[in-house]
A and B are shown apart, each in its own frame.
Chain A
């Protein structure tokens, strides 16, 4: 192209549109998008656990509030500090660190010393999230990593800082009293021991408190009804896949029933509902595909039952979810959806 011709064309750029010439922005398709943002999603999860948080603090008192506050402060401050050190944008306004701290706080006993909760928040973000590269890159659920760190560091505090210790609710037999002097978190533990000792205990009488006002669990385990309300909010907003809570809790209920435990008690006691609704459903650490989510959550349920019945841990949900988090990359790899029109997935691999 000769320059002269090029100049001539420049002048010919038509200006026949009336009105002020707008500043048009370039961009790639698609040019429109749905309303979802990461911050909005995090915000909705926070709203979903808010009733539970409020009620948990109401039951647990100021100490419970302090636990949650410290865990949130630990998480958010750690996120900001590490991002500063890494010279990357500080993203605490996306609410993800706040949510991690809040979820962690809800899995802690209400009378836990505040400094342990703070350490949990720090560990959740530092060891659970930032060490992997930050949001979206972590393998394990950060809140549960934080909880696991303080659980193994301060097992005594973590198993005794409840409003009411297990023994107060346990039938008055010498065996059980002896067991409880070792410390126990929830009647779940007792139920396991009871089964082993062939003691007939009417565990069903614990169900009522679990539904509304559980005094021997963590802050967020205070009410099964409010947990399900939170799940309802998430499902209504289309933010979680129903398969995960249903498959995880379903697996635990069926297996516990098969092993001789009251299935309703199995469902509502301990951290199962909270874990199934708010922890296993964490986007980052569960598989992407529908069937992958089923495998993941059934696995969570299985491991929970194994730990509840056959280990000397009082509760299995935390380690069950963390363990299955580790399998997520593998599940994603092997349960890749078969692309449209493909005869078999083998030709792709």
Chain B
């Protein structure tokens, strides 16, 4: 396999990437849906309060949900139209969430670029305010509010900004396309991130299966002091925050701590572009690139989709069902969420819509652990997933904690490699939830 022999972390797995399905497809605008369903909460943090009511007219980019709380990010309308309802819907995880449903106008005006202060003159405070106003969150999937990350505590200065361009999840190519098509915007965004936290350097971490993107980014950073590109091994989960920091800087984030603890800030390349767009033309985060791919689709591709677009529309945009679709996933195949029907809507953290066919979904009942140790070898956190699973089965939560359940970030390497089909990740999730409940008591 190509892309080996570069810097990497210990553990992890090498699933086939399948990126060739969509990596050469340029980003195209997905059709504007007749109706968008925009969940008010698309981030980790405090819930938003709707700013609109049924019957209200809204414009593209108009703020429709907000809260006073610091750890939160506002949401904006992705279309010009009329609010039909503010109601509870089921989001892609199956949770019931409040959403603003907007009927889009037949004619959609282009986004009117606002007159902004020159990007080069923005102060750290202004960049943070823009990140918040733009509703920016981590676009790699976790959706943590960006402005919070850009506000490091005074006693923990950040010296290194890492731009996560690994895209280590198989199938996904949305970040790859951004890097190929908009390297200058990525680098401009990175400069803003570096300035916002007063860092000394900004490093773009990218897997070695995207050398075309590496070339473009290297050219874009060549005249920028303090910025660099780090080429990393093709291995999952190279783009996990703690692993990326460790590989690029050699620093280890202690358990339960954030990257700020070791003077680092990690942002996704998509977030970097969104920050640049907000700073340069005042465009909030209301659309994003989504990879719609998999052998269960006729023509996979990368689409610029409005937040709130139902994924059925994206599936249609990718040519509709093909072959024998067996599993529909929002996100990547390692950490994404299976969908029963294509009804959920795209949110800020949606990187992919994936349709797998039966030969890829090898779902069987779990059977006895033979203690082969493959999960221990694969765990990038150096935990013992089989013992966590065993403890969770016996509901021995103290033991699950002893074997590291709380350090698990659910990358799925253990279950991926398990010959006994044990869903360690589910067991670890259960253990984490139980341990959290016990600690609250």
Contact A41 B370 (CB under 8 A): yes
A288 at the interface (CB under 8 A from B): yes
Contacts of B356 in A (CB 8 A): 31-32
Contacts of A19 in B (CB 8 A): 320-322
Stretch at the interface among B130-138, B197-205, B413-421: B413-421
A194 to B298 alpha-carbon distance, docked (Å): 77
Contacts of A14 in B (CB 8 A): 310, 312-313, 342-343
Best-buried of A135, A241, A289, A339 by chain B (most CB within 10 Å): A339
A37 to B420 alpha-carbon distance, docked (Å): 6
Q: 1/0 contact trace for A23-63 toward B, CB 8 Å?
A: 11111111111101110110000000000000000000000
A172 at the interface (CB under 8 A from B): no
Interface size counted on chain B using CB atoms at 8 A? 80
* Chain A min CB distance to B344 (Å): 11
B296 at the interface (CB under 8 A from A): yes
Interface size counted on chain A using CB atoms at 8 A? 54
Q: Which 6 A-B pairs have the closest CB atoms?
A: A30-B412, A22-B325, A136-B368, A18-B320, A36-B419, A337-B382
Interface residues of A in 1-27 (CB under 8 A from B): 1, 5, 9, 13-27
A13 to B310 alpha-carbon distance, docked (Å): 10
Q: 1/0 contact trace for B324-353 toward A, CB 8 Å?
A: 111111010111111111110000000000
Residue of B nearest to A38 (CB): B419
Interface residues of A in 99-139 (CB under 8 A from B): 134-137
B170 at the interface (CB under 8 A from A): yes
Contact A40 B419 (CB under 8 A): yes
Best-buried of B170, B341, B372, B415 by chain A (most CB within 10 Å): B372
A15 to B373 alpha-carbon distance, docked (Å): 45
* Contacts beyond the supplied A27-B327, A288-B386, A340-B382: 10 A-B pairs with Cβ under 8 Å: A22-B321, A24-B341, A25-B327, A31-B361, A38-B420, A40-B419, A289-B384, A340-B381, A341-B407, A349-B402
B441 at the interface (CB under 8 A from A): no
Contact B380 A29 (CB under 8 A): no
A212 at the interface (CB under 8 A from B): no
A283 at the interface (CB under 8 A from B): yes
Stretch at the interface among B158-166, B247-255, B263-271: B247-255
Interface residues of B in 30-83 (CB under 8 A from A): none
On whether A339 and B419 interact (CB within 8 A), knowing A29-B412, A32-B356, the answer reads no
Contact B338 A337 (CB under 8 A): no
B360 at the interface (CB under 8 A from A): yes
A28 to B87 alpha-carbon distance, docked (Å): 27
A contacts with B: majority SS: loop
Contacts of B288 in A (CB 8 A): none
A106 to B408 alpha-carbon distance, docked (Å): 42
Contact A283 B342 (CB under 8 A): no
Partner of A38, one of B89, B334, B336, B370: B370
Partner of B313, one of A16, A20, A25, A136: A16
Contact A30 B381 (CB under 8 A): no
Contact B382 A135 (CB under 8 A): no
Q: Point out residues on A near B: beta carbons under 8 Å.
A: 1, 5, 9, 13-34, 36-38, 40-41, 91, 94, 96, 134-137, 241, 283-285, 288-289, 332, 336-343, 348-349
Contact B252 A341 (CB under 8 A): yes
Q: Point out residues on B near A: beta carbons under 8 Å.
A: 13, 15, 85, 87-89, 170, 242, 246, 252-255, 257, 296, 310, 312-313, 315-316, 320-322, 324-329, 331, 333-343, 354, 356, 360-363, 367-374, 376, 380-384, 386-387, 402-404, 407, 410, 412-413, 415-421, 423, 425-426
Partner of B373, one of A29, A136, A289: A289
Partner of B376, one of A30, A284, A288: A288
Contact A29 B316 (CB under 8 A): no
Partner of B361, one of A15, A32, A40: A32
A341 to B423 alpha-carbon distance, docked (Å): 25
A241 to B373 alpha-carbon distance, docked (Å): 10
On whether A17 and B321 interact (CB within 8 A), knowing A5-B87, A24-B328, A30-B334, the answer reads yes
Partner of A1, one of B87, B403, B420: B87
Residue of A nearest to B402 (CB): A348
Residue of A nearest to B321 (CB): A19
A23 to B338 alpha-carbon distance, docked (Å): 12
* Chain B min CB distance to A125 (Å): 14
On whether A340 and B407 interact (CB within 8 A), knowing A25-B327, A28-B338, A29-B337, the answer reads yes
On whether A31 and B327 interact (CB within 8 A), knowing A135-B368, A283-B371, the answer reads yes
Partner of A283, one of B312, B370, B423: B370
Best-buried of A19, A31, A136, A241 by chain B (most CB within 10 Å): A31
Contacts of A33 in B (CB 8 A): 362, 415-418, 421
On whether A31 and B321 interact (CB within 8 A), knowing A283-B372, A340-B252, the answer reads no
Residue of A nearest to B334 (CB): A30
Contacts of A135 in B (CB 8 A): 367-368, 370
Residue of A nearest to B408 (CB): A339
* Chain B min CB distance to A10 (Å): 11
* Chain B min CB distance to A82 (Å): 14
A137 to B371 alpha-carbon distance, docked (Å): 9
- Pairs A–B under 8 Å by Cβ, sample size 18: A17-B316, A17-B321, A18-B316, A26-B340, A29-B333, A30-B335, A30-B415, A32-B361, A33-B362, A34-B416, A38-B370, A41-B419, A91-B367, A283-B373, A340-B380, A341-B254, A342-B254, A348-B402
